[in-house]
């Protein structure tokens, strides 16, 4: 199996709205045969969730990516990631269910939204306290 871009970087970032409680791994190894034809927001897990939520994004090329948590009316309650991804690979975000003020959110439905210059994808998630 041929691997594309591979170095594993595991960092806790304080970048563009991300905070130390959000763990972000970028460029996790990806076999070229598994690469999606376009950027893909995978199903967040676990869902429903009560403490942390893992969000995985698989991308096929360098691209500026924004990942936000929105409430049912579309208000952004947390920006998880807003960066340029350097190339093909997987972005993994572990979110601890806090908002921009580091307060734990109320139980209920939210959606995780991935935005790039060419697409918007959303996945609904349920937070249970």
Site for another protein in 74-93 (CB under 8 A): 74-77
Partner residues linked to 24 by β-bridges: 11, 93
Report yes or no: 89 and 114 within 8 Å, Cβ to Cβ.
Answer: no
3-11, 14-22, 28-36, 69-77 -> range binding another protein (CB under 8 A): 69-77
Q: Is residue 45 involved in binding another protein (CB under 8 A)?
A: yes
Largest interatomic CA distance in the chain = 45
Residue 43 CB, nearest distance to another protein (Å)?
Answer: 4
Report yes or no: 104 and 128 within 8 Å, Cβ to Cβ.
Answer: no
Place of tokens 């130390």: 20
Q: Is residue 108 involved in binding another protein (CB under 8 A)?
A: yes
Report the residue number, 18 or 53, with the smaller CB distance to another protein: 53
C-alpha 124: how far from chain center: 13
Residues that bind another protein (CB under 8 A): 42-48, 54, 56, 70-77, 106, 108-109, 111, 113, 120-126
């Amino acid at each position: 199996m041929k691997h594309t871009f591979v170095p594993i970087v595991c960092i806790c970032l304080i970048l563009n709205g991300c905070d130390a409680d959000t763990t972000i791994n970028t460029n996790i190894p990806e076999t070229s045969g598994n690469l999606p034809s376009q950027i893909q927001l995978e199903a967040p897990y676990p869902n429903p969730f009560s403490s942390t939520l893992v969000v995985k994004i698989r991308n096929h090329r360098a691209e500026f990516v924004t990942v936000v948590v929105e409430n049912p009316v579309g208000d952004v309650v947390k920006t998880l990631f807003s960066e340029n991804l350097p190339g093909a690979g997987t972005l993994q975000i572990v979110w601890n269910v806090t908002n921009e003020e580091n307060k734990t959110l109320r139980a209920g439905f939210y959606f995780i939204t991935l935005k790039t210059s060419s697409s918007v994808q959303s996945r609904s998630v349920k937070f249970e306290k």
